[in-house]
A and B are shown apart, each in its own frame.
Chain A
Amino acid sequence: DAKTTQPPSMDCAEGRAANLPCNHSTISGNEYVYWYRQIHSQGPQYIIHGLKNNETNEMASLIITEDRKSSTLILPHATLRDTAVYYCIVRYTSGTYKYIFGTGTRLKVLA
Chain B
Amino acid sequence: EAGVTQFPSHSVIEKGQTVTLRCDPISGHDNLYWYRRVMGKEIKFLLHFVKESKQDESGMPNNRFLAERTGGTYSTLKVQPAELEDSGVYFCASSQDPGVGNTEAFFGQGTRLTVV
Contact = CB atoms under 8 A, between A and B. Distances in A.
Do A and B bind?
Answer: yes
A63 B108 CA distance: 28
Interface of B: 4, 31, 33, 35, 42-45, 48, 55-56, 58-59, 91, 93, 95, 98-99, 102, 104-110
A98 B108 contact: no
Given A42-B109, A46-B105, A100 B45 contact: yes
Given A51-B102, A96-B55, A101-B35, 4 more contacts: A46-B105, A93-B98, A97-B31, A101-B44
B27 to A, nearest CB: 18
B59 A98 contact: yes
Contacts of A36: 107
Contact of A95 (B45, B56, B107, B110): B56
A96 B48 contact: yes
A26 B42 CA distance: 18
Interface string A79-111: 000000001000101111111111110000000
Interface in A12-65: 32, 34, 36, 41-46, 49, 51
Contacts of B35: 99, 101
Interface of A: 32, 34, 36, 41-46, 49, 51, 87, 91, 93-104
B99 A46 contact: no
A51 B102 CA distance: 10
B107 A93 contact: no
B43 A101 contact: yes
6 contacts: A43-B110, A45-B107, A49-B104, A93-B99, A96-B48, A99-B45
B108 A87 contact: no
Contacts of A96: 48, 55-56, 58
Nearest to B41: A103
Contact of A44 (B43, B45, B56): B43
A103 B55 contact: no
Contacts of B33: 98-99
Nearest to A47: B104
A43 B45 contact: no
A103 B105 contact: no
